[in-house]
């Protein structure tokens, strides 16, 4: 069997947002100006922390219940967010720790720095995590977050979104991104979304309504697949010359 244990494929930094994106104003003073230094992966990049089921609690992937008082649940549109984590070669990535955070149904975060006038939901923390299985599959249950205003232009609103953080098998795969919802008119208007130039890349971050996996009379499903960096095969790299 081919060993995919070589270096990670280089990151396509034209596909990702650039670091300096003036329409997202905070990036102007927080973006390195000098060229990044490139080098081939060593074990420092191909290894990484890996987590297991012992690190997770029973309700970690259920944001409707994991902060709720007994007998109560979070307010909002009940949804299931699910999908697969693949690498760039299309292979499932198992045991990926996926952490999510989000605003409540009114667009308010449970965070001392968030002063938006929409109220907190006493039953919603906005934080969850899950581990992908052997097929790369993961699922969360939550409520659909609300859009919220933010100080950038005079009237900028974030589309409804869920923040995602992923640990692959190597530290070089570490990724934080955001998930948007199909059909949201704020996607096209958002300066943070538009730090990404390729419409196909934005589409990758847009979860699709999945009626087949919607639970009747209970919760709608949104499908959201994620892709982490792939690794080169070392078939020839480990073969000595002349053998």
Active-site positions read: 109, 148, 158, 161, 163
Interacting residues of 214 by C-beta distance below 8 A, sequence separation 6+? 80, 220, 221
By beta-carbon proximity to other proteins, the closer residue of 73 and 178 is 178
117 binds other proteins (CB under 8 A): no
Q: Nearer Cβ to other proteins, position 79 or 172? A: 172
d(C-alpha 89, C-alpha 232), whole Å: 9
Which stretch of DSSP H or E encloses residue 227?
Answer: strand 226-228
Among 140, 170, 181, 206, binds other proteins (CB under 8 A): 170
- Rule CB under 8 A: which of 125-164 touch other proteins? 125-129, 163
Distance CA 33, CA 101 (A): 30
CB of 186 to other proteins, least distance (A): 14
Residue 122: CA count within 13 A, CB half-sphere: 4
- The verdict on 29 binding other proteins (CB under 8 A) reads yes
Task: Choose between 32 and 183: whose C-beta lies nearer to other proteins.
Answer: 32
* Closest to 84 (Cα-Cα) out of 36, 136, 38, 146: 136
Residue 115 touches other proteins, criterion: CB under 8 A: no
**Contacting residue, 2, 32, 199, 212, with other proteins by CB under 8 A:** 32
Please identify, using beta-carbon distances, which residue of 151 and 216 lies nearer to other proteins: 151
8 Å CB contact between 137 and 84: yes
Alpha helices in 108-217, H assignment, sequence order: 186-189, 199-204
Work out how close the CB of 113 gets to other proteins at its nearest, in angstroms, rounded to a whole number. 6
- The single residue listed with the structure tokens 């104003």 is 25
Q: Among 70-78, 138-146, 200-208, 212-220, which window interacts with other proteins (CB under 8 A)?
A: 200-208
- The least CB distance from residue 15 to other proteins, in Å, is 6
């Amino acid at each position: 069997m081919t060993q995919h244990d070589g270096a990670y494929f280089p990151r396509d930094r034209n596909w990702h947002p650039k670091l300096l994106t003036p329409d997202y104003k905070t990036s102007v003073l927080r973006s390195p100006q000098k060229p990044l230094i490139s080098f081939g992966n060593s074990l420092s990049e191909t290894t990484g922390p890996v987590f297991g089921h012992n690190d997770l609690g029973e309700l970690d992937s259920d944001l409707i219940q994991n902060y709720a008082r007994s007998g109560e649940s979070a307010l909002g549109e009940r949804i299931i967010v699910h999908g697969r984590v693949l690498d760039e070669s299309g292979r499932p990535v198992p045991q990926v720790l996926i952490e999510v955070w989000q605003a409540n149904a009114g667009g308010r975060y449970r965070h001392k720095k968030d002063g938006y006038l929409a109220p907190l939901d006493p039953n919603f923390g906005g934080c969850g995590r899950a581990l992908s299985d052997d097929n790369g599959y993961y699922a969360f249950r939550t409520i659909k977050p609300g859009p919220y205003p933010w100080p950038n232009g005079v009237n900028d609103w974030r589309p409804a979104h869920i923040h995602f953080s992923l640990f692959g098998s190597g530290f070089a795969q570490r990724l934080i991104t955001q998930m948007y919802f199909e059909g949201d008119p704020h996607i096209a208007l958002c300066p943070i979304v538009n730090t990404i130039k390729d419409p196909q890349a934005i589409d990758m971050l847009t979860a699709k309504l999945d009626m087949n996996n919607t639970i009747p009379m209970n919760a709608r499903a949104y499908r959201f697949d994620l892709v982490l960096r792939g690794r080169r095969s070392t078939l020839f790299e480990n073969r000595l010359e002349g053998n």
